[in-house]
Amino acid sequence: MSETLRGYPAETADLTVAVDPWKHNPSAWSQRLPICGLALVAAVIAAYMSLYQWRLVDSVWDPIFGEQSARVLDSDVAKMMYRWFGIHDAAFGALAYLGDAIFGLAGSTRRWQYRPWMVVLFGIDVIPLGLVSAILVVAQAVVVGQWCFLCLVTAVISLILVWMAVDEVYSSLKWLYRTWQRTGSAAAVWRVFIGRPVESVDEVAAEMVRKAA
């Protein structure tokens, strides 16, 4: 499969390539759609918890810890975060997960090379925020002394999303780094980052890719 992208010759726009050190294409739909699906599940769960924090529902479902979930969502830690950011932590999480899904759906199946800026934004949304989300859930439980089943579910999903997104982000960062190594030019790296072709690094891309099985 090939695609003519603005400024890129069609013969260099094969979208089915794998990227070393992986044996797969990290931008393939088979890699990204599961991320989007899991992110949407987490967004729905977080939105449901935010409805409780906004008092739009009377209680929050928890088959294991019972009323502990409500205590966690109403804790001083949660209220402090609301004072700091002006939005409940669950609502913030819902927006972050929705962002994961949107960024996951954007771009072609070779966006790691042709749209690094998109992959980097995707990585920022998934990886640091995902890790912070998981850490906050555990820390909040330790501080409050209560556990929240749905919070734990979203924390686990966050860690899975991080694991699933790392390969594509790594490939884009490697592409930018190798562009810098080859050119020593910040301008060339910037052009590659925003998706503009740079002829002098075409060979770098050819060294990184191979046909996917």
Q: Which residues pair with 119 in a beta bridge?
A: none
Instruction: Express each pLDDT in 105-162 by its tens digit.
Output: 999 999 999 999 999 999 998 988 888 877 877 777 777 788 899 999 999 999 999 9
User: E-assigned strands of the chain?
Assistant: 17-19, 209-211
Q: Is residue 1 part of a domain?
A: no
Q: Is residue 44 part of a domain?
A: yes
Q: How many CB atoms lie within 10 A of CB 120?
A: 16
> Residue 5: is its pLDDT beyond 80?
no
Q: What's the pLDDT score for residue 209?
A: 85
- DSSP letter assigned to residue 55: T
Q: What is the CATH number of the domain that holds 196?
A: 1.20.1440.130
* Average pLDDT of the segment spanning 67-73: 89
Q: What's the pLDDT score for residue 13?
A: 60
CA distance 150 to 27: 30
* Average pLDDT of the segment spanning 14-28: 87
* Contacts (Cβ under 8 Å, ≥6 apart) of 89: 53, 78, 81, 82, 136
Range of the domain at 99: 10-211
Instruction: Report the predicted TM-score, pTM, of the whole model to 2 decimal places.
Output: 0.85
Q: Is residue 24 part of a domain?
A: yes
* Average pLDDT of the segment spanning 166-195: 94
Q: Is residue 3 part of a domain?
A: no
Could you give the number of structural domains in the chain? 1
Q: Is residue 174 part of a domain?
A: yes
Q: Is residue 194 part of a domain?
A: yes
Q: Is residue 2 part of a domain?
A: no
